Structure 1
């Protein structure tokens, strides 16, 4: 196997009416440098005498050029991502990457086999493997870091862009829409802010972070609309919504009005602009301000289970012992589709998602209702 030629001249050729030096750069790729000299024998001889000096200059430039480490590119990536809605999540990714690969390693020294090993052994804190859809977020972060190195010419190609996560058999999602009976019991047994959250959630299909980010002036009773403009979550330092399509107008169903008005009264009583403000009237920080923390570590370092309002409520409804409050969104989607009074595109628009996403996530909950059709319909009669 021959060694790759780097930082040396390949040939002197005639191009564009002048003499051009073709040379191998630091990655072994052929580059060109126009000299401005006309193609004569004397000029060719002159360039040949200058070749040693030219190659020396190439090597010195490479030696004096500062090469950034993975840690430096990771810091730059986070700096450029400060306005991303999931910057906190990306920061967590970066910490794990630097701990695994080492912050002082150069991107060019990272092999694809190492990347594959990292993803194959990626686990949650409790040791359970990550599902493929979650690994995609991790891959995007690493791809972004490598892209910066590629654009600087530190690597020949972005190996993460060229690599796809292998398919894996993930366990089925435990997301379940609430049944109508469960919804009745949840509303009957809940009270105050949690009661209003459930009432608004099942009638709007809004994401938890969107509900937490609702402000009084977002509610337009006159036109029957909720303006979704922001999202609040502990995973982000800003209030950007999940996607651009998440910024939308959601119709206010009549059944949602009492819950909205009740929560607005609570916010005004606390002198807050946010519907789901904290008990002291301060700006909400996350959905856990409504649910309570599922788990926490006490002063002795022991893991304790919280008795927050949602965690107490779900234990009182059969079948919901491990349910998540954000299932109100899934409940809305399924009930809208089951009603057959709305086009799927309308439901997708209300929820701020693509039509494809609606089908992929929620069509499986519609049972076999398509079998209950009028079979007397003639498909080919005008």
Structure 2
């Protein structure tokens, strides 16, 4: 209900009223707005009634809505559709990268030029794909504002993310080969099987042989493995928040898949199951309680940082092997598929990619590397012929 009051000015008495008109996007509490300067109480009451009608229709203050207010309204709905890991990541992007640029600006005043300047700023500091990702995030708020009739055009739609020079891209690719070819992966297997704890060796072996993501590997259960049909059923992934293990469905619908296994992989897993059983019997734990293929002594999944720590330690002692990340084992699997002549469509299914373009990008990168390798072999062969003449 509006609150009416009479107040004194140098020109005599006037009337004001206060009423809730907006909601604070941070606290969620209603904010009261004061309206002053009315000659009579009746005039103030009439104005209050008009504002109430606008509030009821949802048309009040459209020209005053800030980007943050639009974001808060959109986020309240959008976050319900996201998985916990995606929700936290998206919220962090807005908090650290997007809101600092738009925050208290009235959304109707934000134009194409300003959006382009923000995108250019992101592009100076970030990769092309990350800048595009931030642009997409920011654009969703503008689209929501359009659906609420707060604005009529999306100014972010017209912003362009600058592409790097093609030669620069080629150089970057050659310097950041995040996979091993089949010979290098075999070399890793020979060494790691002797130097690593067998559980860690199995973890990397399966990721490199079946293309599992790190979170998928750490939540892989023995029941997910179909030894008879040589298939790993990928069903879930791991997410850590507030020191708690949170299991959730795989990254996308396509990620819910059946990954192939080799006979050698089955042999390694069977050996590990025997060793794992012995390990937990020594700890006084009944093996039927063991669910995960790799896990801690308390039967919980390994930490997400565990594979990174073990791989970094291994590579530090083996500088002869090219340095790759944990995710590089997944690309190593893709590399093996390419070398074996597996079609892009089949590789897409094995890897659980939603878009074929993602698989094509990996295949193209692998193809470039292999061509360079074969060219080097040819050059060395010609040198040997010259030396023997």
**TM-score bracket for this pair, using the shorter chain length:** 0.5 to 0.7
- Select the residue among 161, 164, 182 that pairs with 1:165: 161
Contact 1:197 1:259 in 2 (8 A): no
After superposition, the C-alpha distances for 1:180-203 in whole angstroms (9 at most, x for unaligned) are 443234222333332111210121
Tell me the CA shift for residue 216 of structure 1.
2.4
CA distance in 2, matches of 1:246, 1:102: 35
Question: TM-score of the superposition, structure 1-length normalised?
Answer: 0.66
CA distance in 2, matches of 1:253, 1:135: 39
Higher helix share: 2
Whether 1:289 aligns to 2:306 is yes
* 1:1-382 matches, cutoff 5 A: 61=54, 64-65=60-61, 68-79=65-76, 80-85=78-83, 86-97=86-97, 99-101=99-101, 103-122=103-122, 129-169=125-165, 171=169, 172-173=172-173, 174-187=176-189, 188-189=191-192, 190-234=196-240, 239-261=248-270, 269=280, 271-284=289-302, 286=304, 288-292=305-309, 309-320=310-321, 322-340=323-341, 342-353=342-353, 354-366=355-367, 367-368=370-371
Tell me the CA shift for residue 321 of structure 1.
6.3
CA distance in 2, matches of 1:210, 1:99: 33
CA distance in 2, matches of 1:146, 1:232: 32
After superposition, the C-alpha distances for 1:308-328 in whole angstroms (9 at most, x for unaligned) are x21110122235464212111
CA distance in 2, matches of 1:357, 1:247: 16
The size of the alignment, in residue pairs, is 295
Aligned to 2:35: none
Q: 1:264 to 1:162 in 2, by over 3 A?
A: farther
Tell me the CA shift for residue 98 of structure 1.
5.2
CA root-mean-square deviation: 3.4
Tell me the CA shift for residue 283 of structure 1.
3.6
Question: TM-score of the superposition, structure 2-length normalised?
Answer: 0.65
Contact 2:180 2:322 in 1 (8 A): no
Q: 1:363 to 1:311 in 2, by over 3 A?
A: same
Secondary structure at the counterpart of residue 116 of structure 1: helix
Gaps of 5+ in 1: 1-52, 293-308, 373-382
Secondary structure at the counterpart of residue 325 of structure 1: coil
Secondary structure at the counterpart of residue 239 of structure 1: strand
Tell me the CA shift for residue 177 of structure 1.
1.9
CA distance in 1, matches of 2:360, 2:106: 43
Gaps of 5+ in 2: 1-45, 376-389
After superposition, the C-alpha distances for 1:54-112 in whole angstroms (9 at most, x for unaligned) are xx969983884475432233334444234424222211111124552353333223233
Secondary structure at the counterpart of residue 161 of structure 2: coil
CA distance in 1, matches of 2:336, 2:350: 13
Q: 1:167 to 1:229 in 2, by over 3 A?
A: same
Tell me the CA shift for residue 135 of structure 1.
1.8
Contact 2:210 2:261 in 1 (8 A): yes
After superposition, the C-alpha distances for 1:21-67 in whole angstroms (9 at most, x for unaligned) are xxxxxxxxxxxxxxxxxxxxxxxxxxxxxxxx9xx969983884475
Secondary structure at the counterpart of residue 139 of structure 2: helix
CA distance in 2, matches of 1:165, 1:147: 19
After superposition, the C-alpha distances for 1:107-137 in whole angstroms (9 at most, x for unaligned) are 22323333222232227xxxx8321112222
CA distance in 2, matches of 1:102, 1:364: 37
